[in-house]
Amino acid sequence: MILVKIMPQPTLYILDDDQEYANLLVEFASGSGWNAIAEYDPVVFLEKDLSDVHVLVLDLNMPELDGIEVIRAIAEKKYKITLVLVSGFDARVLHSAQQLAEAHHIKVAASLTKPIPISEFVKVLASIELEEPSKDTPVEKEKFSAIELEHAIKNDELILYFQPQVNIQTGKLAGVEALVRWLHPEKGLIFPDQFINVAEKNNLIGALTERVLYLAVKQNKKWRDEGFNTIISVNISADDIISLNLPEKLKTLTEQYDVEARNIVIELTESAVMGELTAQLDVLNRLRMKGFSLSIDDFGTGYSSLSHLYQAPFTELKIDQIFIMRMLEDTEAMVIVKICIMLGQMLGMHIVAEGVETKEIYDILHGMNCDIAQGYYLSRPIPADELFEWAKLY
């Protein structure tokens, strides 16, 4: 006798105070192979154990407890539930609700406007890739002390990986972004999200930045001696940008290794340029006067983007990857990308698109006359020796 293992149907809830409409969606979801259940009261729904729920079709507009409050409750309880957001209200609210859910690390399969075409609803359900339900129990990342990090900085345990940036119009290598890694003698390669906060909280960010700049300048010199001359972009923090001796230190470093200042681009995130304006403009202007280029990173996600462009002497604008990666399916993201490109060009800046992961996005950016692309479609961050070989293709 052959035993056939029958897989349980995935569970889907329709949470909508319109009972007739919820029952209709349940009928079509059941016909698509789901264990579909209608729930009309969000308070009752949230009292349930939702650890076995795979998908929730959530109406945002409910009188007693709205969909935004339901999203908040799901996030607080850390349930792994994929959402399909539904609303007959303002499309902008629906779009913003999706951003809220994703900010809570909740997956959103689709945002649909009422009345939902049934064919579209069934298509969305068929496209959902399920995660294992149950409460989220993330694996704890390794924790490092300030003493360990300080030892790493002083004992050459920091290394650089480089992500290529390609001129979209010519297809040639335009430069690279330097990304720091910690090559721990026992635990291997450690990414910056596990130690940058340690540096910031323990007054080590200045020493870390100095080390990264040293490694970048030294690598630029090495590459040039091998016949490979390119631009290297280096990220610096909010603390660094108010360090009044940074321009002189960096100029001394480049002169020591006979590296041209124009080969080093200093990148600052928008959040980094939200502090004490006087000191920042002092440092930024002296960096430019010494020949270094300045890039404003993650553009479009800050609180005073236009004032930053108006006040500071930036030469490059990097469009945040969240807009680039969503531009194909999100009309508003596409509009923001177009505006950023137009704005940067009108200000005489180079425009870099981060997060370019497909040829389709690359081709669209080409049609928009964007200058430079950076992302996994072109290359992941790679070690210096691999970058040298990769560059031979461009």
Residue 141 falls within a domain, yes or no?
no
List CB contacts of 191: < 8 A, sequence separation 6 or more.
181, 182
CA distance 290 to 311: 18
Instruction: Give a yes or no: residue 135 inside a domain.
Output: no
Regarding whether 260 and 361 lie in a shared domain, the answer is yes
What is the C-alpha to C-alpha distance for residues 239 and 232, in angstroms, rounded to an integer? 21
Average pLDDT, the chain: 88
Domain count, the chain: 2
Q: What is the pLDDT of residue 4?
A: 41
> Where among 65, 98, 127 does a domain terminate?
127
Q: Is the pLDDT of residue 7 over 50?
A: no
Pair 239, 155 in one domain: yes
Amino acid in the structure at residue 7: M
Whether residue 356 sits in one domain with residue 301: yes
> Angle 205-225/384-391 helices, nearest 10 degrees?
40
Query: Which of the pair, 304 or 37, is modelled with greater confidence?
Result: 37
Q: Tell me the pTM.
A: 0.73
Res. 64 pLDDT band, cuts 50 70 90: confident
pLDDT at residue 131, as a whole number: 62
Residue 194 belongs to a domain with what CATH number? 3.20.20.450
Q: What is the pLDDT of residue 301?
A: 67
Q: pLDDT (tens digit, 9 = 90+) per residue, 70-110?
A: 999 999 998 999 999 998 877 778 888 988 998 898 999 98
Helix, strand, or coil here: 138?
A: coil
Q: Tell me, yes or no, whether 275 and 380 share the same domain.
A: yes
DSSP secondary structure letter of residue 135? B
Q: Which residue has the higher pLDDT, 32 or 219?
A: 219
Domain final residue pick, 96, 127, 158: 127
Q: Which CATH number does the domain housing residue 32 bear? A: 3.40.50.2300
Rounded mean pLDDT of 277-288? 84
- The answer to the question of residue 353 being in a domain is yes
pLDDT above 90 covers a percentage of the chain that reads 63
246 and 309 both lie in a single domain: yes
Q: Of 375, 373, 369, 374, give the one whose Cα is nearest residue 343.
A: 369
Tell me whether the omega of the peptide bond preceding residue 115 falls within 30 degrees of 0, making it cis. Answer: yes
117 and 154 both lie in a single domain: no
State whether 152 and 100 are in the same domain. no
Compute CA distances 139 → 142, 143, 330, whole Å. Answer: 9, 12, 32
Predicted pLDDT of residue 3: 43
pLDDT of 149 > 70? The answer is yes
User: Do 117 and 198 belong together in one domain?
Assistant: no
The DSSP 8-state label assigned to residue 112 in this structure reads: E
Do 189 and 338 reside in the same domain of the chain? yes
Helix ranges, the chain (H)? 19-31, 42-46, 67-77, 91-103, 118-127, 146-154, 196-201, 205-225, 246-256, 277-289, 305-311, 321-326, 331-346, 359-367, 384-391
Give the C-alpha separation, 183 to 199, whole Å: 16
Please state, in angstroms and rounded to a whole number, the distance separating the CA atoms of residues 55 and 137.
19
Claim to verify: residue 49 and residue 183 sit in the same structural domain: no
Residue 138 is assigned to a structural domain of this protein:
no
- Return all residues near 335 (Cβ < 8 A) that are at least 6 apart: none
Per-residue pLDDT tens digits for 336-388: 999 999 999 999 999 999 999 999 999 999 999 999 999 999 999 999 999 98
d(CA 249, CA 207): 12
DSSP per residue over 172-203, as a string? SEEEEEEEEEEEETTTEEE-GGGTHHHHHHTT
Q: Which residues pair with 351 in a beta bridge?
A: 317
pLDDT of 133 over the 70 cut? no
List pLDDT tens digits, range 161-187: 999 999 999 999 999 999 999 999 988
Is residue 1 situated within a structural domain?
no
Residue 368 within any structural domain of the chain? yes
* Domain that residue 231 falls in: 146-391
255 plus 363 within the same structural domain: yes
**Tens digit of each residue's pLDDT (9 = 90 or more) over 200-216:** 899 999 999 999 999 99
DSSP assignment string, 13-63: EEE-S-HHHHHHHHHHHHHTT-EEEEE--HHHHHTS--TT--EEEEES--S
Q: How far apart are CA 165 and CA 175, in angstroms?
A: 5
Residues 202 and 71 in one domain: no
Q: Which of 81, 96, 127 is the last residue of a domain?
A: 127
More confident residue, 216 or 134: 216
| pLDDT band at 253; cut points 50, 70, 90 | very high
> Does the residue 262 lie in any domain?
yes
Please give the pLDDT value at position 95. 85
132: in domain: no
